[in-house]
């Protein structure tokens, strides 16, 4: 019964989201951005420099991301130790948290 009710509510919400999104109009393009784009068209070298700086920022972001996740495998930790650590961190961040479990039954 609850499964059917949940499914029905999900369908109602999906239809409502679709109906609202079909009626939403986009905001007009800001005039100050248009002036800036016109200036870039007049000076293509500035546009090339801007694109290259964005590419450098993206490369820096990707290199930071590559070193962010360290499982410790190269330092002698096993995969099971890493899995236990990650599960413990997930439990510690869970709203009900780790701790003594009380049985209500």
pLDDT in tens, 13-40: 999 988 877 776 777 766 777 777 777 7
Q: Which of 82, 64, 65 is nearest to 73 (CA)?
A: 82
Q: Is 24 part of any domain?
A: no
pTM above 0.85, yes or no: no
Q: Is 36 part of any domain?
A: yes
Q: Is 102 part of any domain?
A: no
pLDDT value, residue 11? 94
Tally of domains within the chain: 1
b/e code 14-38 from CB counts within 10 Å (16+ = b): eeeeeeeeeeeeeeeeeeeeeeeee
Q: Is 84 part of any domain?
A: yes
Q: Is 86 part of any domain?
A: yes
Q: Is 72 part of any domain?
A: yes
Q: Is 50 part of any domain?
A: yes
The residue segments making up the domain with residue 81 are 31-95
Q: Which residue has the higher pLDDT, 51 or 8?
A: 8
How many percent of the chain have pLDDT more than 90? 9
Least confident range from 10-14, 25-29, 49-53, 85-89: namely: 25-29
């Amino acid at each position: 019964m609850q499964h059917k009710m949940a499914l029905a509510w999900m369908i109602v919400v999906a239809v409502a989201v679709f109906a609202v999104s079909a009626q939403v109009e986009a905001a007009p393009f800001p005039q100050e951005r248009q002036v800036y784009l016109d200036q870039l068209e007049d000076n293509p070298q500035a546009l090339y420099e801007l694109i290259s700086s964005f590419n450098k920022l993206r490369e820096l972001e990707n290199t930071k991301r590559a070193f962010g996740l360290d499982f410790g495998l190269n330092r002698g930790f096993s995969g099971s130790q890493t899995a236990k650590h990650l599960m413990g961190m997930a439990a510690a961040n869970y709203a009900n948290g780790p701790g003594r479990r009380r049985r209500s039954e």
